[in-house]
Amino acid sequence: MLETTFIPINSEKCCQSSRTAVTFDLSFYRTKSTQEPKVEDLREFFRALPNFRMRDIDVEQLQKSLAEKGASRLEVKEAYDIDYENQSTGVYFQMFYTPTNSSNEEPSFPNLDPTGLGAHVNLVRPTYFALESFPLITQIADKFGLLTFDNQITSRHKEPFKADSATLTESWIATNSWAIGNFRKEGHSIKYLPRERLDYNWNFLRQCVGMQQRLGDHVFVPTRIFLAEKNSFLGTFVTWTDYIPMVLPSVDWIVMGQSKGGKDFSTRGFARFGDLLPILANDLRNLSEPVPHYLLSNDLTKDTRKKLEKLQLIDKKEFKALPPSVNVVDVPPN
């Protein structure tokens, strides 16, 4: 993962910075007739939402951190982090709240007051980061009657407005493309997969918990789709151990595994997904809901197992698995 420096609120316009931006920053305003969000109301709201965590910030430590980064001191007495992280999809973003923050660094607009609430969505990420993040961010703004200020140069709105997720996603996509282009020019290694492939992975992982609940413990639903390179080709794979009943997502390869007791297993090799389909033709159901996948719901016959044992596998040494720290995006190289 590319190193990021997060400085809460009042970030420079990301496309005008002398350094490549790493976050897409939003700030929130209220009309004179709208109350500033109360901390206790925010706590209650976020407690009811999955994947959110709101915590107090040590203001003294925050000021020291800002000073070390060369950022302006914040004239605040209290501050709060609001973190979103979805363990299933890997999507995350951060919000920051400093109630009654009267910093003059925030742009001023007639009849509007800044709230001290900001949201920060990482750049140099796949588009699904925006697709998951902005519906939640706009939900928060709507709940508390706030207007959203998108200060990116890509924004079509130059004043705070009642934002919708599609408009923010459009702005993020343009900013993200710019940031990725600059990171590539700076020599960072960034991998590419088409958006439809990454969106599919995201959609599958969003649904895997629900599919597991509906199918029960008899069928295994993978909760990770891995990435690997073979020669110069970047593809996807999941692991299938002992031919157990399983949901198979649309991937390039299946790692054929054999359990060795407990959580240990050995890898026999990689099978091309297309080579497995004819062998499993009578056992797989090709389903489209809630996301396209193949369902193997029953134990295989001895005859089918023999055919699988004879299948020519690709040696795992020909593959290089990508760790989660590697950036993979859906913006193609120029």
- Mean pLDDT along residues 291-313: 95
According to the model, what pLDDT value does residue 21 have? 55
Provide the 10 A C-beta neighbour count for residue 187.
Answer: 6
pLDDT at 14 over 70: no
Please give the Cα distance from 272 to 304 (Å, whole number): 17
Task: Compute the C-alpha angle 278/224/187, nearest 5°.
Answer: 105
pLDDT at 29 over 90: yes
Which DSSP letter does residue 83 get?
E
Burial profile 29-68: b = 16 or more Cβ within 10 angstroms, e = fewer: bbeeeeebbeeeebeebbeeeebbebeebeeeebbeeeee
Answer yes or no: are the C-beta atoms of 295 and 244 closer than 8 Å: no
Which two three-digit tokens encode residue 119?
């949201």
pLDDT at 62 over 90: no
Paired with 87 in beta bridges are none
- Mean pLDDT along residues 81-104: 87
According to the model, what pLDDT value does residue 76 have? 80
Least confident range from 63-72, 189-198, 216-225: namely 63-72
Average predicted confidence (pLDDT) for the chain: 89
According to the model, what pLDDT value does residue 4 have? 31
Please give the Cα distance from 211 to 124 (Å, whole number): 30
- Mean pLDDT along residues 104-111: 81
> Angle at which helices 165-185 and 128-143 pack, to 10 degrees?
140
Answer yes or no: are the C-beta atoms of 178 and 154 closer than 8 Å: yes
The DSSP line for 303-333 is HHHHHHHTSPPBPGGGEEEPPTTS-EESS--
> How far is the CA of 235 from the CAs of 52, 56, 288, in angstroms?
31, 42, 21
pLDDT at 3 over 90: no
Query: Three-class SS string for 209-225?
Result: HHHHHHHCCCCECCCCC
According to the model, what pLDDT value does residue 190 have? 93
Provide the 10 A C-beta neighbour count for residue 306.
Answer: 11
According to the model, what pLDDT value does residue 2 have? 36
pLDDT at 203 over 50: yes
- Mean pLDDT along residues 83-111: 86
User: Which residue, among 320, 295, 307, has the nearest Cα to 227 in the 3D structure?
Assistant: 320
- Mean pLDDT along residues 126-151: 97
Torsion over CA: 236, 242, 243, 248 (sign) = negative
According to the model, what pLDDT value does residue 204 have? 98
pLDDT at 327 over 50: yes
According to the model, what pLDDT value does residue 298 have? 94
pLDDT, tens only, 240-285 = 999 999 999 999 999 999 887 777 778 899 999 999 999 999 999 9
According to the model, what pLDDT value does residue 320 have? 94
DSSP strand pairing (319-321 vs 226-230):
antiparallel
According to the model, what pLDDT value does residue 16 have? 33
According to the model, what pLDDT value does residue 323 have? 87
pLDDT at 116 over 70: yes
